[in-house]
Amino acid sequence: MRRGTPKFRLKGCEAVVQEVRTRMPFGYGKAQLTVAPLLHARVLIESSDGKFASGISADCLPPQWFDKDPAKTYRQEVESQIGAFQKAAVVYVSVGKSLRTAVDLWLEAYPKVLEEAYRSGINALTASFGSSFVERAIVDAVCRLRGVSFFEALRQDLLGFKTSEHLPAKLPDAIFCRHTVGLCDRLTAGEIPEKERVKDGLPQALEEDIETYGLRYFKIKLSGEHERDLERLSRIAALLHQRCKSGYRLSLDGNEQYRDLKDLERLIEDLRSKPYGTTFFDSILFIEQPLPRDIALTASVAGALEGLSRLKPVIVDESDDLPDSFERAAKLGYRGVSHKNCKGLFKSLQNRALICRLNGERKENFYFQTAEDLSTLPVVALQQDLASALALGIEHVERNGHHYFRGLDHLPKGEAAAALAAHSDLYEERQGSVFLHILDGMIACGSIQCTGYGYASEVAIDERTQLAAWTPAGLEP
């Protein structure tokens, strides 16, 4: 701990929620999302010298990712996520009664959160999600307590981690947007039936997204069904060849669909024989967790991972649910790990330190982090996740919330206007609304290097519903 790292007491944690509707169905895995609760958490801290600061975090509560139990309804999964947050808040406030640094608070509270979740039948990934709301809000509060940006807080080791030695020398002003192509997403405008057309002036098919945003990075979901995936990937390869004249890069998301990695190897090899397949193969950066989480980190998969990794690096995502998950994964042959603020910021900072150490031992950039979280919404969730990705040295980020939700229309009108005023590089006004600004496939991020954790505009907490008073009326029972 550097001299000057602030110690504080956590005085309280509250949450508000609102329901946000999609502009079109949002399909991933077996989920078809049309409405999602958006939860904002706010904490209050008091420093050792009696100064107070508050901090905010936010995220959607999505079904069928943290817990892929097919027996659970959407409402049950949302209730589990809310329960995880509530249990985490109680633990953090209890542990935070005495003075601690941010990391010391996390190191003591997070294991207790996992224990509480285990006793309640909540899995570790969902528990980490609950903890992450409190973690992020605390980081925001620490930044505001000292009047610095998130990157500057890391550079000064204000959280209690020795983060400064693992930071990029300089932050870029923009980051590439990696556009997710879901299993239900239409590739061309001609494929969209008339009854499914949104007609809101925004792109709907992949070819329209490429044209509108100048996209060059993509993430493509796999179903695990060989013929279906081969046909779809072949069509995508042809479309990207036609539309992306300056080239493209992509990742494949195995989405836990493969118990036998030989099936995925066969898919990739068969694709190379298709038109434009070789270019498509050469453009693949990595493959995201193809193995189900129940076997993904078992010793039995090491040989199969080695075979697939000869083709492309493989990363863990859903199985990165504990602080030591990636360390165990690296020993099995995984090359990378996803960063998602929703899995826990402190864990991502730990993974960054581990990757730097392992690469130093190898004397090459062998291990890496990626940024995977497609549904972060403005203002807080989106901007904090972008701030994290930049500080972790990641050059492109999965970012698709703007594709499924209509700009900042979900926000109170004054909040959207404030976001545009404070972050005019990140947003633009058109069609009477405010939208994320993507130019040449990139998102400008200079303005998020402001005091606090990624956002400078006011958040209208009081215009949302207190969590204790909210019922998920808009969700399927």
For 55-96, how does the pLDDT look when each residue is reduced to its tens digit (9 = 90+)? 999 999 988 789 988 888 888 999 999 999 999 999 999 999
- One-letter identity of residue 191: E
Could you tell me the pTM of the whole model? 0.96
Bridge partners, residue 439, by sequence: 442
Domain boundaries for CATH 3.30.390.10 within the chain:
8-147+464-469
**Is the four-CA dihedral 19, 22, 27, 28 of positive or negative sign?**
negative
pLDDT value for 1 = 40
Architecture of domain 164-459: Alpha-Beta Barrel (3.20)
Cα angle, residue 373 at apex, residues 372 and 378 outer, rounded to 5°? 140
pLDDT tens across the length of the chain (477 residues): 445 899 999 999 999 999 999 998 876 656 678 888 999 999 999 999 999 999 999 999 988 789 988 888 888 999 999 999 999 999 999 999 999 999 999 999 999 999 999 999 999 999 999 999 999 999 999 999 999 999 999 999 999 999 999 999 999 999 999 999 999 899 999 999 999 999 999 999 999 999 999 999 999 999 999 999 999 999 999 999 999 999 999 999 999 999 999 999 999 999 999 999 999 999 999 999 999 999 999 999 999 999 999 999 999 999 999 999 999 999 999 999 999 999 999 999 999 999 999 999 999 999 999 999 878 999 999 999 999 999 999 999 999 999 999 999 999 989 999 999 999 999 999 989 999 999 999 999 999 999 999 999 999 999 999 999 998 766 654
Number of C-beta neighbours around residue 315 at 10 A? 27
What per-residue string of b and e applies to 152-178 under the rule 16 or more CB within 10 Å gives b?
ebbeebbbbbebeebbeeebeebbbbb
pLDDT value for 299 = 98
- What residues contact residue 473 under an 8 Å CB cut-off, 6+ apart? none
Domain boundaries for CATH 3.20.20.120 within the chain:
164-459
Under 8 Å between Cβ of 426 and 387: no
Q: Are strands 31-47 and 284-288 parallel, antiparallel or unpaired?
A: unpaired
Tokens of 393: 């040295």
Radius of gyration for the chain, computed over Cα atoms and rounded to the nearest angstrom: 21
Residue (of 14, 100, 103) closest to 55 by Cα position: 14
pLDDT value for 2 = 42
Rounded distance between C-alpha atoms, residue 314 and residue 55, angstroms: 36
pLDDT value for 375 = 80
In three-state secondary structure terms, 226 is helix
CA atoms within 13 A on the CB side of 365: 5
Number of residues written out for the chain: 477
pLDDT value for 477 = 40
The fold of 8-147+464-469 is Enolase-like; domain 1 (3.30.390)
- What residues contact residue 303 under an 8 Å CB cut-off, 6+ apart? none
